[in-house]
Amino acid sequence: MKIVVVGAGPGGYVAAIKAALLGAEVTVIEKYKPGGTCLNWGCIPTKSLLAASERIDMVKEAEDFGVEIGSDIKVDFNKIMDRKNKIVTNLVKGIEHLFAQKKITVVKGHGKILSSTEVLVTDEDNNTQTIPADKIIIATGSAPIVPPMFPYDKTKVITSDEAMNLTEIPKSMIIVGGGVIGCEFGQFYRKLGTEITIVEMADHLLPFEDDDVAKQLARSFKKDKIKVMTSDSITKVEVNDNGVTAELGSGKSLTAELMIVSVGRRPYLDNLGVEELGLASERGKLIVDENMMTNVDGIYAIGDVINSPMLAHVASKEGLVAVDHAVGKKSSVNYDAVPRCVYTDPEVAAVGKTERELTEKGIAYHVGSFEFRGLGKAQAIGKLQGSVKVLTDDNDVIVGASVVGPHATDLLTELTLAVHLKLTAAQVGDVIHPHPTLSEALMEALHDVHGQCVHKV
């Protein structure tokens, strides 16, 4: 069987390798580099940058632990960026090595689907070739949304793509959008000394999370002297020699050296052949069934181009499901147990339903919570801010959870497993958690669902 994957991001490259493991003859079409937005401009490079700003905090806090380093901290921005680029390069090479090892053919260029059995590839020199296929998987990802009102010049008004490759630390920056991207970039550049103002239309940061979760991050931002303007919007933007001036709906005015527009992303379906093929879509996203199949037999779609959470790990899972169906196997995606992660300080991680969702749907629920400051391990490492919250239904089944605090994105896995397997708070809370660890906060929150938390004040 010949499977052609259009796009080599976290959905496409995982699908390609899976298909090869199952014995298919695989061709990947990619116009840039393997890894997509996640590896080249998103998940991995941002975490590399945030790791640098974390080291700055560690140095500043060293004296509290009895380690005297000195107050003169120098930041080599070029070295930070070089390290980030090296990590990305190494990981890209790793994917290329996997492709070669699995005998996956890579064709560089833009892919346009002609039919359910043919894909036309055009390279940068405008040369074309047609790739035959038995099954096709669309995994072309997404691109930043830049509304027309923003004079996007990639120099002073930029997106996350350009923010990832700045050559100098800006003195000041306006960030439009207080979601994951805005919060991560805002905190990183603030740690390096940039004056940051975040403008968010919703009434709190991270609009898709509960208010109490977002408030904990907002407290940290206030401590970092990041200015956050919620329930407000940008109405006019002007670029001048000194930078950017923005007028707000509230009547206020902001000026800064740079503006990052981070208001969301759109499916990248440009010149893919969607209209000619008659692929069904809704609000710009392709419609697929539970097997990731579009309305055209033999053509699948995964990741940011379909109506599912725009997250790398979701795309990867969808890629596995699409390949399984293509070769006659059966698997599925459990969208009720999708982890959501923000790599700020403190980290924010959540899975399943939020309190707001449960309330809006009229579903009865119970809450258990515990603050990290109640843990010996948190006290020992000096990371006291944050908490764990667990939500259960009337049958004690865990339907949602959030973790705000040190290593929250790693700790969430246990609760994600619980939501995925529909385990109860009693079942997971009965598990012995090692002491002293941060994971004890999960156990304490689970016990608190039943009012049995020993260490809660």
Break the chain into its structural domains and give their ranges: 2-144+266-333, 157-263, 337-448
Spell out the residues 6+ positions from residue 178 whose beta carbon is closer than 8 angstroms to its own.
198, 199, 200, 202, 204, 205, 206, 207, 228, 230
Choose, from 97, 433, 435, 447, the residue flagged as catalytic.
Answer: 435
Residue type, 9: G
User: Are 2-144+266-333 and 157-263 in the same CATH fold?
Assistant: yes
Identify the CA nearest to 185 among candidates 54, 37, 50, 345. Answer: 50
Q: Domain 2-144+266-333 class?
A: alpha beta
Query: Under a CB-based contact definition with an 8 Å cutoff, are residues 337 and 310 in contact?
Result: no
Closest C-alpha among 406, 405, 425 to residue 415: 425
Residue 56 is assigned to a ligand binding site: no
Annotated ligand binding at 311? The verdict is yes
Amino acid at 194: T
DSSP 308: S
Q: Which two tokens stand for residue 13?
A: 């490259």
435 is catalytic: yes
Q: Show the tokens assigned to 2.
A: 């010949």
| 111 in a labelled binding site | yes
| Amino acid letter for position 2 | K
Please spell the DSSP secondary structure of 104-145, one letter per residue. -EEEESEEEEEETTEEEEE-TTS-EEEEE-SEEEE---EEE-
Q: Is 376 annotated as a binding residue?
A: no
Multiple choice CATH, 157-263, 3.30.465.10, 3.40.50.10680, 3.50.50.60, 3.40.30.10: 3.50.50.60
Neighbouring CB atoms inside 10 A of 66's CB total 6
The whole-angstrom separation of Cα 272 and Cα 7 is: 11
**CATH for 337-448, options being 3.30.390.30, 3.40.50.300, 3.40.50.1000, 3.40.50.150:** 3.30.390.30
- Ordered per-residue pLDDT tens for the chain, 457 residues: 999 999 999 999 999 999 999 999 999 999 999 999 889 888 999 999 999 999 999 998 988 999 988 778 889 999 999 999 999 999 999 999 999 999 999 999 999 999 999 999 999 999 999 999 999 999 999 999 999 999 999 999 999 999 999 999 999 999 999 999 999 999 999 999 999 999 999 999 999 999 999 999 999 999 999 999 999 999 999 999 889 999 999 999 999 999 999 999 999 999 999 999 999 999 999 999 999 999 999 999 999 999 999 999 999 999 999 999 999 999 999 999 999 999 999 999 999 999 999 999 999 999 999 999 999 999 999 999 999 999 999 999 999 999 999 999 999 999 999 999 999 999 999 999 999 999 999 999 999 999 999 999 8
Q: Which helix (H) or strand (E) holds 274?
A: helix 274-277
Is position 204 annotated in a ligand binding site?
no
What is the chain's alpha carbon radius of gyration, rounded to the nearest angstrom? Answer: 23
Is 38 annotated as contributing to ligand binding?
no
Token pair for 14:
């995982």
Instruction: Tell me if 347 is assigned to a ligand binding site.
Output: no
Rounded Cα gap, residues 83 and 393, in angstroms:
46
Q: Is 429 annotated as a binding residue?
A: no
Going across the sheet that includes 234-240, the strands are 234-240, 243-248, 253-256
Strand pairing partners for 349? 341, 403
